[in-house]
Amino acid sequence: MAQMLKAMGQTSMPEAKPILEVNGEHPIVVSLKDIEDEQRIADTATVLFEQALLVEGIKLKDPADFVKRLNRLLAGNR
């Protein structure tokens, strides 16, 4: 809705903070409990959040950073 209003020229609206609902039983979330690497946990959480933004049609502020994070996760290291 905010994107539509901005596209129509409405600039004076409060910024809504997105809410990410997480399924605690999803295999990705469950797999995090055994990981001790804080960077990997942070990368995973950020990638999940950014994926949710993409699904909603929201452009990422830094797509290159998203790709770097995703590549680190796919490579299994930092």
Give how far Cα 39 sits from Cα of 21, 27, 56, 73, Å. 21, 19, 26, 10
pTM of the model: 0.71
Instruction: Kindly report, residue by residue over 47-76, the tens digit of the pLDDT.
Output: 999 999 999 888 999 999 999 999 999 998
Contact 42, 69 (CB under 8 A): no
CA distance 12 to 64: 30
pLDDT at 72: 93
Contact 20, 49 (CB under 8 A): yes
pLDDT at 20: 75
Instruction: Kindly report, residue by residue over 13-52, the tens digit of the pLDDT.
Output: 777 776 778 899 999 999 999 899 999 999 999 999 999 9
